[in-house]
């Protein structure tokens, strides 16, 4: 049982919002499915750290959810800035249940134990937030992150944080989010949101005792990245690394 992660799948099977207009995104759905099936097994779990679907509602995102549900493994979904379909936890859980989407689960203000890893996290927010409304969002997201980490600690596994927005780049920092990561003694943090030329500003490596990893789908060449391998996970790790 291995744990993988990817962000920014930007599925649009029922929406007129294909990412193929952008460089590097040609045939991205086919590439994602091919790579996913090559590395992820039925007993594995994949965290999708935001910007899952362009659907404007749960119903509008249904085809994208159904596509994900056909892929191997369990999927843990976090919110991104373009996940307009996101609703209350109760509505999302009920929608998945009503449509037989048994492999999908929302992570929101809570955590999920996968082997020895306690998956936790939240969306995050801009690191240059100066307006009062943005500051409120940052503080709310920091609170959600702390609540999720504390829920993860209750499982007894290593809390590994997944965010959509980067908590820092080469030239900027979201101090409120970083403060939570440092105070909670988090050692690994995965994030998305950055694409194309913007990935050059990404922090990929250790800062302040935390190892940061960018997992945007295009950055990973649409291949889920191994986070925590099982004994049988070495082949998946090799394939995942070969895609980079």
Per-residue model confidence (pLDDT) at position 29: 97
Question: When comparing pLDDT for 22 and 45, which is higher?
Answer: 45
Structural domain of 170: 3-242
What does each C-alpha distance from 26 to 38, 88, 93, 152, 244 come to in angstroms? Answer: 19, 33, 32, 37, 16
User: Is 242 a residue whose pLDDT tops 90?
Assistant: no
Render pLDDT for 118-167 as a digit per residue (tens, 0 to 9): 999 999 987 665 666 678 899 999 999 999 999 999 999 999 999 999 99
* Strands, sheet with 225-228, edge to edge from the N-terminal-most edge strand: 104-106, 74-78, 45-49, 3-6, 225-228
CATH number of domain containing 144: 3.60.21.10
* Cα 149–chain centre separation: 15
Residues facing residue 117 across a β-bridge: 114, 158
Q: What is the mean pLDDT of residues 112-119?
A: 96
* Cα 105–chain centre separation: 12
Per-residue model confidence (pLDDT) at position 235: 46
Render pLDDT for 164-194 as a digit per residue (tens, 0 to 9): 999 999 999 999 999 999 999 999 999 999 9
* Cα 43–chain centre separation: 19
Q: pTM for the complete prediction?
A: 0.91
User: Structural domain tally of the chain?
Assistant: 1
What does each C-alpha distance from 144 to 68, 139, 177, 179, 211 come to in angstroms? Answer: 26, 9, 10, 13, 21
Of 46, 55, 99, nearest in space to 77 by CA: 46
């Amino acid at each position: 049982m291995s744990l993988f992660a990817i962000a920014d799948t930007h599925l649009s099977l029922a929406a007129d919002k294909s990412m193929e207009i952008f460089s590097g995104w040609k045939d991205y759905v086919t590439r994602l499915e091919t790579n996913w099936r090559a590395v992820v097994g039925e007993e594995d779990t994949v965290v999708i750290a935001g910007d899952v679907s362009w659907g404007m509602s749960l119903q509008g995102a249904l085809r994208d959810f159904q596509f994900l549900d056909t892929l191997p493994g369990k999927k843990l979904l976090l919110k991104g800035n373009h996940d307009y379909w996101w609703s209350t936890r109760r509505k999302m859980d009920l929608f998945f249940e009503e449509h037989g989407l048994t492999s999908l689960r929302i992570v929101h203000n809570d955590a999920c134990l996968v082997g020895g890893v306690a998956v936790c996290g939240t969306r995050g927010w801009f690191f240059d937030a100066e307006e009062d409304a943005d500051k409120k969002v940052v503080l709310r997201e920091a609170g959600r992150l702390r609540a999720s980490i504390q829920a993860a600690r209750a499982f007894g596994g290593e809390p590994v944080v997944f965010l959509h927005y980067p908590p820092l780049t080469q030239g900027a920092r979201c101090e409120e989010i970083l403060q939570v990561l440092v105070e909670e003694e988090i050692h690994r943090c995965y994030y998305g949101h950055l694409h194309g030329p913007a990935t050059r500003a990404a922090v990929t490596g250790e800062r302040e005792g935390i190892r940061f990893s960018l997992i945007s789908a295009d950055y990973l060449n649409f291949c889920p990245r191994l986070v925590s391998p099982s004994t049988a996970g070495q082949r998946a790790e090799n394939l995942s690394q070969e895609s980079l």
